[in-house]
Structure 1
Amino acid sequence: MTTLAQQLLRRKPIGRGTGDSPLHRTIGLFPLMAIGISCTIGTGIFFIMSQAVPLAGPAVVWSFVIAGAVAGLTALCYAELAGAVPVSGSTYSYAYATMGEGTAMVVGACLLLEYAVSAGAVAVGWSQYLNELLQNVFGIRLPEALINAPEEGGLVNLPAVILVALCAILLIRGTKESVVTNAVMVCIKIGVLLFFIALGVTGWNSDHFADFAPYGIGGVAAGAGVIFFSFIGLDAVSTAGEEAKNPKRNLPLAILLALVVVIALYIGVALVAIGAQPAGQFEGQEAGLAAILAQVVGSSWPATVLAVGAVISIFSVTLVTLYGQTRILFAMSRDGMIPKIFAKVNERTRTPVHNTLIVSGVVAVLAGVIPITFLAEMTSIGTLAAFLVVSVGLIILRRREPDLERGFKVPLYPITPLLSIAGCIWIITQLRPITIIVFVIWVAAFLAFYYFYGRRRSALEPGNAPLSADVPFTTTVRVEGDRR
């Protein structure tokens, strides 16, 4: 009989191919890149300047560069692992292949916070921007009782629930339809940010950069800490491991291209925003980029354009985070860690319909009745913990599988993953103690579920069949200790 220690440390062999997966490879390079851009560029860039500029001054431009560099280090690690282990499950699958079943379950808990909880958080924000858009265009304002959670004086956040339902319908119809819709929305949101840059640069004033770093390097670092969370989402590309065409090439390339696009857009927006408005006017500025354009143009119509951009942006973020969560749960279910219903795939649409309905139902409840502040805090720590595991996993895989075929290798190894680890730890230490405590409790509860359910049903448990008619297993299962 396998001991608990052996169960926690056993590793799933790396899949050498996923030709028997029930998921179809329908996602090309551009749609993959759009997944990363979509999940990264949410509402943060529309309003983050009002939080970051008071900390860093005009040097907030360097804050964006630093935050992008830290996020980029992790993105490079994801790019290598995505090309080496091209399966669904993202960080969960990487942890399972490098550090063992116990660590994989901890990562599974983190990813539930990163994807499911963040989907709820951004859906809550969608109702606010939708309300603003309806008021600006049609003069209609939704009742407060239907756009706020009970703790905020409302009954239910109905627009947030409707948004989740619309995304679920798209995902159930098919992966191809979902990624095409997302790609269109990404083009629109990029267009809106380019619209800001093109219009905002007409109000450029070089004098706004005169006192460039009034708060020194400490202010630049503080600004980078706030901005970092605007770069989260690039890892969403890795959840499409079993639906990507030519995954060893396209997964790493999509992550890297998405990173370049996001960094370029963010720095462009930051430069134009500072050039168009003095640094002292950013603090407390609720309308963000819209207010800057209103000053430059002398009219309120740009606010409507940016509101459209925010509404579309949040829709695409919700769509991608729901997609990512269902594929992570698909991988965990196939491995026996959670009930098999999450791995059942509809024969016609080739999508995990039951999985999508369950995830969407839970997210709709979160979005409908829980305040956004709590959801956002838990998303942050779950994401950082997952990032940390990826960087550690890359180092382990390099040592354990030096001859493994990789579509991409991180430059300056091992400096790159070590810097990524250091950056993640630093940002985690900046979080509120209560957030860390709740996170520890959540992970402990997830491990308790593993103890009573997952470890005995694992596909790696001797006597358990790794294959079934409706849940194909994409790798040959060996008990830890065998050499590949």
Structure 2
Amino acid sequence: MDDTNQLQRRLKLKHVVAIGIAYMSPFAVFDTFGIASDVSSGHVPAAYIIVFTAILFTALSYGKLVKKYPAAGSVYTYTKNILNPYLGIIAGWITFLAYLALPMINALLAKIYLSAALPEVPDWIWIVGLILVISILNIFGVKLAASLNMLLVAFQFIVGVIFIYLNVRSIIKGPESFISLSELFPSGMGFSGLFAGAALLALSFIGFDAITTLSEETIEPKKTIPRAIILVASIGGIFFFMVTFFMQSLFPDVSVFNDIEGASPEIAYTIGGNLFLSIFTAGALFSVFASGLAAQVSASRLLYAMGRDNVLPKGFFGYLHPRLNTPVPNILFIGLLALSSLFLDLTMATSLINVGAFTAFSFVNICVIANYLKTKTKRTIGFTFGNLIFPLVGLGFIIYLWSSLDFMSIIAGLIWALLGVVYLLISTGFFSKEPPKIDFEELEM
């Protein structure tokens, strides 16, 4: 393969994990706590245990597929090689919604945080400024973005540890007590509210899969990427549970807050005053920046894989800068698309993420199941559980998540999918030609 059109392997496990955690945005646990507590009737920690267990099955499916196809295209690559080339294009097209919408959400959140602190500055400046800085950093290389994300993620976890410490101190001093095991899963607890909370919190784990788009830039991807996927999902799950365990212990009833959606800043002020609220706000801004940086990395690699295959115009989307070794046109293209956040709100952007992420999760589990049915090797009990039962469980949970989406999310997804089908029909001459396949042996060089 021509080295000028090949991503270089520079990333180690720590870099990949940092990008995955940054994409997943640890501070999402604070943004969703108030609403999740209300929906689950004060059982957010239990809801996180359920959603983590369910998501883990899908994470295992990703780990299996990345060993088989260590390429930058993630679900697009898996689907087109295991199921159908045309279906792979549609899967990649719909999945791109999640990668596209996350930079929008991060730009909108940055605007909300910074406009509250500096209301005299026009809103659009924060959106344009964030997208511009993120794009420039990503152009100068994935390792720079990964190293910066390591620092930003470390700061977020430090803020999270301080948050937990202040919660524990307040619980010890006050009349509240820590949640007991019997209170974590009480016998009379309604499962409908608990699973509704789990469906909402599933969004917290979106991002562990994005690191599969870095397979071609990772050293020993068949070993490193599966480990990173499990680590990112596990670190996120433990962090989310720990934070919400102590938050729920201190505030079992979120109706005491003036704004349920903004409960976390109120908690930060209650336990640490203005000083900690300032630190907490800085952590939230760092989270937005890191997540936007990681999202643009992943989205540009997905477009690059589709461009290299000539699914999208190769001269533009399949181009790598000869010195920087980054898909510069894709990065700029995603930055321009992210500017649409000037005209969107959080609800619409979140809907786009849901559709894209759930599509990716569904196809990944289906691919593992299809690969199991096609295999001619001996099917032991362990092999059957790992390649059939586990992905079926993962797919079942994702189907439940699909049923929880609102009507507008479904409509937005169908319109985007229809546009993809129209483009596919035109670009393939009404299915008269197939997209070229990638030589995965060459990618291992």
Aligned-pair CA distance for 1:83? 2.0
- The structure 2 residue matched to 1:191, chosen from 158, 167, 172, is 158
Aligned-pair CA distance for 1:99? 0.9
Determine helix, strand or coil for the equivalent of 2:230: helix
Q: Are the structure 2 counterparts of residues 207 and 330 from structure 1 closer, same or farther at C-alpha, using a change threshold of 3 Å?
A: closer
Aligned-pair CA distance for 1:158? 2.4
Partner amino acid, structure 1, of 2:297: Y
CA RMSD of aligned residues (A): 2.7
Equivalent in the alignment of 2:342: 368
- The structure 1 residue matched to 2:84, chosen from 66, 87, 100, is 100
Aligned-pair CA distance for 1:260? 1.2
- The structure 2 residue matched to 1:49, chosen from 33, 43, 54, is 33
- The structure 2 residue matched to 1:218, chosen from 183, 192, 205, is 192
- The structure 1 residue matched to 2:252, chosen from 260, 264, 278, is 278
- The structure 1 residue matched to 2:132, chosen from 137, 150, 165, is 165
8 Å Cα contact 2:37-2:197 kept in structure 1: yes
Partner amino acid, structure 1, of 2:71: V
Q: Deviations over 1:451-481 (max 9, x none)?
A: 11146899846xx8x8xxxxxx54489xxxx
Matches of 2:4 and 2:69 in 1, distance apart?
A: 15
Q: Are the structure 2 counterparts of residues 48 and 110 from structure 1 closer, same or farther at C-alpha, using a change threshold of 3 Å?
A: same
The residue correspondences of 1:34-433 to structure 2 (distance < 5 A) are 34-132=18-116, 135=117, 140-143=118-121, 146-147=122-123, 157-204=124-171, 205-206=176-177, 213=186, 216-281=190-255, 284-297=259-272, 299-340=273-314, 341-364=316-339, 366-401=340-375, 412-433=386-407
Matches of 1:198 and 1:18 in 2, distance apart?
A: 53
Matches of 2:331 and 2:311 in 1, distance apart?
A: 18
- Listed as ranges, the gaps of 5+ residues in structure 1 are 1-16, 148-156, 467-472, 478-484
Matches of 1:277 and 1:313 in 2, distance apart?
A: 24
8 Å Cα contact 1:32-1:237 kept in structure 2: yes
Aligned-pair CA distance for 1:395? 1.4
Equivalent in the alignment of 1:151: none
Q: Deviations over 1:286-334 (max 9, x none)?
A: 443332232234x222111111011000111111111111100111111
8 Å Cα contact 1:34-1:183 kept in structure 2: yes
Equivalent in the alignment of 1:447: 421
Q: Deviations over 1:29-71 (max 9, x none)?
A: 0111111111112542122110011122342211011111122
Q: Are the structure 2 counterparts of residues 330 and 455 from structure 1 closer, same or farther at C-alpha, using a change threshold of 3 Å?
A: farther
Matches of 1:287 and 1:266 in 2, distance apart?
A: 17
Given the two structures, how large is their TM-score scaled by the length of structure 2? 0.89
Q: Are the structure 2 counterparts of residues 35 and 232 from structure 1 closer, same or farther at C-alpha, using a change threshold of 3 Å?
A: same
8 Å Cα contact 1:114-1:382 kept in structure 2: yes
Q: Deviations over 1:330-370 (max 9, x none)?
A: 11111111111111111110111112111211112x12222
Partner amino acid, structure 1, of 2:355: I
Partner amino acid, structure 2, of 1:381: V
Give the number of equivalent residue pairs: 430
8 Å Cα contact 1:77-1:417 kept in structure 2: yes
Q: Deviations over 1:237-258 (max 9, x none)?
A: 1010100000010000001111
Q: Are the structure 2 counterparts of residues 455 and 345 from structure 1 closer, same or farther at C-alpha, using a change threshold of 3 Å?
A: farther
Question: Which piece of structure 1 moves more, 28-37 or 209-218?
Answer: 209-218
8 Å Cα contact 2:368-2:387 kept in structure 1: no
Aligned-pair CA distance for 1:159? 0.8
- Larger helix fraction of residues: 2
Given the two structures, how large is their TM-score scaled by the length of structure 1? 0.83
Instruction: Provide the identity percentage.
Output: 24
Determine helix, strand or coil for the equivalent of 1:94: helix
